[in-house]
Chains A and B, each alone.
Chain A
Amino acid sequence: MQEPLRVVHYVNQFFGGIGGEEAANAEVSVVAGAVGSGRALQQALGDLGTVVNTIICGDNYANDRFEEARVAIETQLRSLQPEILIAGPAFGSGRYGASCTQACKIAAEMGLAALTGMHPENPGVTRALPDVYIVPTGETSAEMQQALAGMTRLAVKLGRGETLGPAAHEGYLPRGIRRLYDRQELGYKRALSMLVRKLKGEPFVTEVPIHEPERVLPAKPMADLAGAKIAIVTTGGLVRKGNPDRQVAANATRYYRHSVLELRSLSGSDWEAYHAGYFNHIVNSNPNYILPLNFLRDLQDAGVIDDVYEWIYALPGVSTPVAISQQMGQTIAKDLQDAQVTGCLLVST
């Protein structure tokens, strides 16, 4: 039978039995054995581990004086040399979660195995990725037993130097690290099994989670076309000939806007397309294909619409990260609203 692991428990002032909010400024201190919630941890560990020491750090101290806290924690860990540091669980407490994450990072930097537990929406989670192992827990300490069960199981593996498998199998929050491994079954068979389960209405687990796009409420229809001012935006990579603005051909971080006041049509002698995602030559001869200015001007002359907005917006819409697209969209939309544009044509390639 293996020797019980040397475990150091890291807790805040409350779980360490020092006090409540009034003790949140408590500096880093160390006591022998398990205290407070550590006793439940020791029970969960059983023979597999012994909580030899507990490091207690006030939530405010950890967050406001983190440089000093860091030095103190480092010093303690260096002398205690645990085989595994277990921090928390912090549940839904934001400051405690951040404090636990920090403690685990310090341990990891020193080459010590470390693990914490907290609710998936605890702010401490965002700072942790990708270095720290976090076991997801409920929001309150009412779920202490379940949290400790999950944490001790993983802590023992980590303490023994075992490599953990994928997050979903082992029960920790995905860290965004991808490792290649053999699934032992050909892809088409796995796909078919998934499809059969889906058709039967049985649960199945996708291998490639798709991020759901946000749903946007449809704008109200334009009431009066003849009185409408129409703006044009293109992601076809329209640029002035020669690309004097030096817009990129892909992965754009900004758009450029151009004035088309008095302009009736886009000419291939003044404009071209610079877009890494499609064959640009056809648009180079007739840029109206991706920004239909000539049609809108003809419709304006015929009284079908009232006006074309003076500014057109252009970027190459290839490999644009969603977050950047959203920012650009919001800025353009604000411009159009301020200019009292009635409707906007977005032409995409």
Chain B
Amino acid sequence: MVSAIYNLALTTGANRVIRGARIEHVCGDPNLGPDKDYAFGMHIVRTALDAMCTAVTGPTLFDPLEQAAALEVAHAT
């Protein structure tokens, strides 16, 4: 499940929760401009697919932002 309100998703028992951007734009962010918006949305979807390939034992959060920050640093340097 991709949701911006990830804590709610976890407490109600969704097992694979992917953190979405915002309620009004879950898979991406129009404020980033078209290229970065697309990259962010794609990153969220890929995180979701990775989550579905990962074994979990209960509600687990998969946060694209943790990985996105690392990508940003890599691009900057």
Contacts and interface: CB of A to CB of B under 8 A. Distances in A.
Interface residues of A, number: 38
Given A278-B24, A283-B25, A290-B27, A345 B15 contact: no
Interface in B8-53: 9, 11-16, 20, 23-28, 30, 41-42, 44-46, 48-49, 52-53
Contacts of A349: 3-4, 23-24, 26
B49 A289 contact: no
A230 B49 contact: yes
A213 interface: yes
Interface of B: 1-5, 9, 11-16, 20, 23-28, 30, 41-42, 44-46, 48-49, 52-58
A236 to B, nearest CB: 7
Interface in A234-253: 236
A242 to B, nearest CB: 21
Given A279-B24, A299-B45, A221 B55 contact: yes
A214 B26 contact: no
Contacts of A304: 46, 49
Contacts of B44: 292
Contacts of B54: 221
A347 B23 CA distance: 10
A220 B15 CA distance: 11
B24 A305 contact: no
A323 interface: no
A48 interface: no
Contacts of A278: 23-24
Interface of A: 213-216, 218-223, 225, 228, 230, 236, 278-283, 285-286, 288-290, 292, 295-296, 298-299, 304-305, 343, 345-349
A281 B23 CA distance: 12
A289 B25 contact: yes
Contacts of A296: 45
Interface centre among B3, B26, B54 (most CB of A within 10 A): B26
A305 B23 CA distance: 26
B45 A218 contact: no
Given A218-B56, A286-B30, A289-B28, 15 more contacts: A215-B13, A215-B58, A219-B15, A221-B52, A221-B54, A221-B55, A228-B49, A280-B24, A283-B24, A289-B26, A290-B26, A292-B45, A295-B41, A345-B48, A346-B14
B20 A218 contact: no
Contacts of A225: 49, 53
Contacts of A285: 30
B53 A282 contact: no
